[in-house]
Amino acid sequence: MRDQIRSEIRKMRSTRSAWGLLAAAVALAGLAAWAMVASMDFGPAVALSTLPGFGEMMILVPILTAVLGIRSYTDEARHGSIVPTLLASPKRRRVVAAKVVVLAGAAAVFALAASLTVAVVSGALLVADGVAVSVSAAALAVLLAKGIAICTLWAAIGLGIGVTVSHQVAAIVGTILWLLVGEGIVEMLSAPVARFLPAHASTAVLGIAAADASLVAPLVGGALLIGWTALSVGLGTRVLFRRDIA
Amino acid sequence: MMDTTTNAAPRTAGPVGSPAIVARGLTKRFGRVHAVDDLSFEVRPGRVTGFLGPNGAGKSTTMRMVLGLVRPTAGSATVLGLPYGSMERPATAVGAVLEVQSFHPRRTGRNHLRVLAAASGVSDARVDEVLALVDLTDAADRKAGGYSLGMRQRLGLAGALLGDPRVLILDEPANGLDPQGIRWLREFVRRFAENGNAILISSHLLSEMAMMADEVIVIDRGRLVRQGSLADLTAGHASLRVAAADHAALQAALVAAGFQPRVDGEAFVVTGVDAADVGRIAATEGIALTQLTAQESTLEEAFLELTEGAQR
């Protein structure tokens, strides 16, 4: 599978789409940090790891890694490069696995870049406002690990959706609508059901709203998100395995 | 100028005489449509095999089944003795060009090939070689979306040649090529086969196919109509051009003898008969012939007759 992984890395690095999404992630993180500092009063001192900007960022950035995952397949379907891809690597499960590995790496970079942006921007703005900012490396590491896990899982979920749906615009618009509107509607209809849905599970993992009854416990959220990922990638793999590239 | 050299030493696509591609009972149904129906054929090394059929005959679907892109409803195909899907690094055995556009338009030609080289386990040095082979070196670092149709075809061919394969499968490779490009392709294809490799090539340009192919497979509505050497295919459809001062008498004599003369200007064209028979008929009836010429059948005539015959 090493050949396929090298190929997927080259695909990602040789067009601008991944870089554009990474730039959007950094911009969103910076914007979230600035809006948070501008709109909240933190008093004389605050611990960096407790800033809500991390939570907001970890809700928005996974959407971008999901889009990255969707595009990993739908770009190929749209432009016809799926034909030489599958001619070079006819074992289709291997192609999906290589995409998951490379997307996971890219999503980790997204999470790292966005987290650093929130930390640096909010830290600098707070210090400029005269707030004493304390930094706990351990607490930040936990936040970062959660962010990487969530972004990675969403990239894989996106891949599964992209392979299954195949049509790029439908897959991206459908996914974003579901994340921003769909689960909210389900929550209004039945909060106990909505708790188990992927975006809710993702928010639960962060543990920033532990008292919120509409969310499951962080560990349960993590297990649920892994389950949704397995379902999406499994379905995508099955669909691709049976699909005629006509 | 493009280099048509492929391999330095002749080699064969598999054991001598054994077919490089074998299709057995290939069948594909899309819903109620039978795209390919119980199709069997073989493609041998050292020969250029043309794959002919009217639009929608099932040529592309058949090629895609051979290459593991489309799952047959029934039947099977092997390349060099193996189902394509079971090959670890198929690029070193088989190269294929199926579509004019099969690349990300914002990726450069070189990067497109580097992506494929990595997946195929081929070195980046080979990328430069195939770029030179198809005369794309100067355009290699431009985005492939800006390539002309001919350049896109050549980029596809470069991708197919990355693994220095022993079998090539090309679907309409002459599309979009200018006359120079077509001549290059023809020479390339011939050289590739002469080196002991196997090549299956579809084209709707029958005159081109007549110049390239040693053997042809003709399909229509997904079914095999004929497989054989080009010479055999056209020989069975040779015709005579015959004319006489008494036009009507000649026509009546030919019809009475069981032939179906086709009017062509002042003369008749008759197939399935030799000159001696026509001479005898004319002599018996006392008709003075003004012309009696054997006509070589073109691939186009043979093709039309075969496919129209299959539709009747």
Report pLDDT digits (tens) over B212-223: 889 999 898 888
pLDDT higher than threshold 80 for residue B242: yes
Mean pLDDT of chain B: 86
A146: which 2 tokens? 């959660």
Residue whose C-alpha is closest to residue A76's, from A127, A11, A21: A11
Instruction: List CB contacts (< 8 A) between B107 and chain A.
Output: 11, 14-15
Residues in CB range of B251: below 8 A, 6 or more apart: B261, B263, B268
**pLDDT at position B297, please?**
64
pLDDT higher than threshold 50 for residue B258: yes
Decide which of B114 and B186 is more confident. Answer: B114
**pLDDT at position B7, please?**
42
B202: which 2 tokens? 């579809």
pLDDT tens per residue across span B86-120: 998 899 999 999 987 889 999 999 999 999 999 99
Which chain B residue is nearest to residue A5, measuring alpha carbons? B119
Distance CA A47, CA A53 (A): 12
**pLDDT at position B226, please?**
84
Which of the given ranges, B1-5, B87-91, B126-130, B255-259, has the highest pLDDT on average? B126-130
Give the lowest-confidence range in A41-50, B72-81, B168-177, B259-268: A41-50
Mean pLDDT over B248-264 rounds to: 87
**pLDDT at position B236, please?**
63
Q: Contact B120/A3, CB-based, under 8 Å?
A: yes
Cβ-in-10-Å burial (0-12, 13-18, 19+) of B90 comes to buried
Interface confidence (ipTM) of the complex? 0.87
Torsion angle, alpha carbons of A80, A81, A86, A88, to 10: 140
Instruction: List CB contacts (< 8 A) between A88 and chain B.
Output: 90-91, 116, 119-120
Q: Contact B112/A81, CB-based, under 8 Å?
A: yes
Cα distance between the two ends of chain A: 25
Mean pLDDT by 10 residues, chain A (246 residues): 94 91 92 85 78 77 95 94 94 95 96 90 86 83 89 96 96 93 88 87 77 77 95 96 90
pLDDT higher than threshold 90 for residue B301: no
Distance CA A90, CA B30 (A): 22
Strand B198-202 and strand B167-171: pairing? Answer: parallel
Kindly give the residue spans of alpha helices, DSSP state H, lying in chain B. Answer: 59-66, 109-120, 124-133, 149-161, 179-194, 206-212, 230-235, 247-256, 275-285, 299-311
Q: Does B70 touch chain A (CB under 8 A)?
A: yes
**pLDDT band, very low/low/confident/very high, at B10 (cuts 50, 70, 90):** very low
Run of H or E residues at B142:
none
Question: Alpha carbon of A17 to those of A30, A152, A159, A198: distances in Å?
Answer: 20, 17, 15, 25
Question: Alpha carbon of A96 to those of A53, A93, A194: distances in Å?
Answer: 33, 5, 29
Nearest to B119 among A4, A80, A245 (CB): A4
**pLDDT at position B296, please?**
66
**pLDDT at position B1, please?**
44
Q: Does B104 touch chain A (CB under 8 A)?
A: yes
Q: Contact A79/B104, CB-based, under 8 Å?
A: yes
Which chain A residue is nearest to residue B101, measuring alpha carbons? A80
**pLDDT at position A6, please?**
95
Question: Alpha carbon of B38 to those of B27, B117, B141, B240, B309: distances in Å?
Answer: 5, 35, 45, 36, 19
Residues 10-29 of A with CB under 8 A from B: 10-11, 14-16
pLDDT higher than threshold 50 for residue B67: yes
pLDDT tens per residue across span B138-157: 999 999 999 988 889 889 99
Instruction: List CB contacts (< 8 A) between B70 and chain A.
Output: 244-246
